């Protein structure tokens, strides 16, 4: 029997890889933080290196995933797990990363026993963003920790948020396709194509919004303990510690007029600059999408797909298909005439009484029947509404008193 190789969609692979990356991302800052506490003096560069080195936990995560997937014999998996758990020693030269790998292997083993398909550590989740706050918050209160932890935490959170966003999006698409897989003529390929394109565009847009300002930011917060009564405590804010200025320079500065920029104006200018950049980015993303769409339309005007005949409407055809937009004849906002008042009152009454808003094609009687309005008051309102809406003279002020 000929066995046909099943094609694995790219989005499935992407989803699995995101699951691996999310594990590595959660462990990496904690690894750097622990190393910072175990070593005496750690420079800013070393912190960044430790963060990047912590990402090497990706290798045991991948091996563990492959082991649980392809080793059917549980004993073989346990043997492989022992090897995988020992791997961090060689990768990091320290046993710090062994516990997370042991936990990961155990959870996979536990899930295998329970028959569950996905472990918690294979799916990124928004609540896990809080894990990145641990090194950032610690660095605020512990003086020996560098402020770069805060900067990196924000960057990690942004990247992790994007991973979560794309992973959840893929899950929603796959979930919908799985639920409806037995439907006949379901255009699954086109659904996936359109929804993943939208997801990709949103991802690019969010990445353009989030990453550039966070990469360039210099956030650094410090907790300053209140000064003791007997002696003035030194401020711990690094920005507050003034550097010794030479006397000559000080004199020159004193001679210059006070030209300190207004902080509010600076912030506004930053915001405006950022808004312009975002607008340009959004425009570029939509421009690329629109261009790609127009280009693809010029190649194929119609095609068949799973029993559907799909026609791409051309611009000259659009006018024929396009219906003239219906302008709803509503009283204007500033119109306070009796006619407008009665019509507003009628509309409000109908909308309050009806569970669902009436359809635009309904006549007043149909709308009242839809809203189940009965009684004298309803009849009076109906009469006044028809007078206000359709009669040439309209309602007078006396009619308003009837309401």
For position 299 contacting other proteins by CB under 8 A, the verdict is no
* 380 secondary structure, DSSP code: H
For position 199 contacting other proteins by CB under 8 A, the verdict is yes
Among 359, 375, 390, 401, binds other proteins (CB under 8 A): 359
CB of 305 to other proteins, least distance (A): 9
What are residue 261's phi and psi, to 5 degrees? -65, 145
Give the binding-site size for other proteins (rule: CB under 8 A): 47
Instruction: State in Å, rounded, how far the first CA of the chain is from the last one.
Output: 83
For position 18 contacting other proteins by CB under 8 A, the verdict is no
For position 219 contacting other proteins by CB under 8 A, the verdict is yes
| Sign of the torsion formed by the C-alpha atoms of 316, 321, 324 and 330 | negative
Nearby residues of 314 by Cβ (< 8 Å), 6 or more positions away = 297, 301
For position 313 contacting other proteins by CB under 8 A, the verdict is yes
Question: Which 253-282 positions form the footprint of other proteins (CB under 8 A)?
Answer: 267, 270-271, 274, 278
What Rg, from alpha-carbon coordinates, does the chain have?
A: 33
Only segment of 35-43, 88-96, 107-115, 190-198 that touches other proteins (CB under 8 A): 190-198
**In terms of CB distance, is 242 or 307 closer to other proteins?**
307
Only segment of 70-78, 216-224, 252-260, 337-345 that touches other proteins (CB under 8 A): 216-224
For position 182 contacting other proteins by CB under 8 A, the verdict is yes
For 128-262, where are the alpha helices, taking DSSP H only? 133-141, 148-179, 188-216, 247-255
Exposed/middle/buried for residue 292 (C-beta within 10 Å: 0-12, 13-18, 19+): exposed
Nearest to 57 by CA among 34, 38, 74, 76: 34
Q: Are 158 and 210 in contact (CB under 8 A)?
A: yes
Among 24, 26, 154, 367, binds other proteins (CB under 8 A): 154
Q: Which residues bind other proteins (CB under 8 A)?
A: 154, 169, 172-173, 176, 180, 182-187, 190-191, 194-195, 198-199, 202, 205-206, 209-210, 213-214, 217, 219, 221, 267, 270-271, 274, 278, 293, 307-313, 318, 321-323, 359, 361
């Amino acid at each position: 029997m000929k066995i046909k190789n099943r094609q694995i969609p790219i989005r499935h692979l992407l989803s699995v890889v995101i699951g691996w990356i999310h594990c590595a991302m959660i462990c990496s800052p904690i690894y750097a933080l622990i190393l910072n506490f175990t070593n005496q003096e750690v420079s800013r560069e070393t912190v960044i290196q430790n963060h990047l080195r912590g990402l090497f936990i990706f290798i045991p995560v991948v091996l563990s995933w492959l082991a649980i997937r392809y080793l059917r014999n549980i004993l073989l998996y346990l043997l492989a797990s022992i090897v995988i758990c020992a791997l961090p020693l060689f990768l990091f030269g320290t046993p710090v990363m062994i516990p997370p790998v042991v936990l990961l292997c155990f959870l996979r083993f536990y899930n295998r026993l329970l028959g569950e398909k996905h472990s918690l550590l294979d799916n990124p989740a928004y609540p896990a963003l809080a894990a990145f706050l641990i090194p950032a918050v610690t660095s605020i209160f512990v003086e020996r920790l560098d402020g770069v932890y805060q900067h990196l935490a924000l960057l990690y959170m942004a990247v992790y948020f994007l991973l979560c966003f794309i992973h959840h999006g893929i899950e929603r698409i796959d979930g919908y396709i799985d639920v409806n897989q037995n439907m006949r003529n379901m255009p699954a390929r086109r659904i996936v194509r359109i929804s993943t394109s939208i997801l990709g565009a949103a991802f690019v847009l969010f990445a353009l919004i989030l990453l550039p300002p966070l990469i360039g930011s210099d956030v650094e917060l410090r907790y300053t303990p209140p000064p003791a009564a007997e002696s003035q405590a030194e401020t711990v804010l690094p920005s507050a510690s003034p550097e010794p200025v030479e006397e000559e320079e000080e004199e020159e500065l004193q001679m210059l007029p006070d030209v300190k920029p207004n902080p509010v104006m600076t912030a506004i200018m930053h915001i405006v600059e950022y808004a312009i950049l975002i607008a340009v980015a959004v425009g570029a993303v939509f421009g690329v999408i629109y261009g790609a769409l127009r280009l693809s339309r010029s190649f194929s005007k119609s095609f068949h797909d799973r029993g559907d005949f799909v026609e791409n409407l051309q611009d000259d055809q659009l006018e024929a298909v396009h219906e003239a937009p219906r302008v709803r004849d509503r009283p204007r906002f500033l119109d306070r005439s009796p006619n407008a008042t009665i019509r507003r009152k009628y509309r409000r009454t109908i909308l309050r009484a009806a569970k669902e808003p009436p359809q635009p094609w309904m006549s007043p009687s149909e709308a009242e029947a839809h809203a189940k309005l009965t009684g004298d008051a309803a009849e009076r309102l109906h009469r006044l509404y028809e007078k206000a809406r359709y009669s040439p003279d309209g309602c007078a002020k006396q009619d308003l008193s009837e309401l």
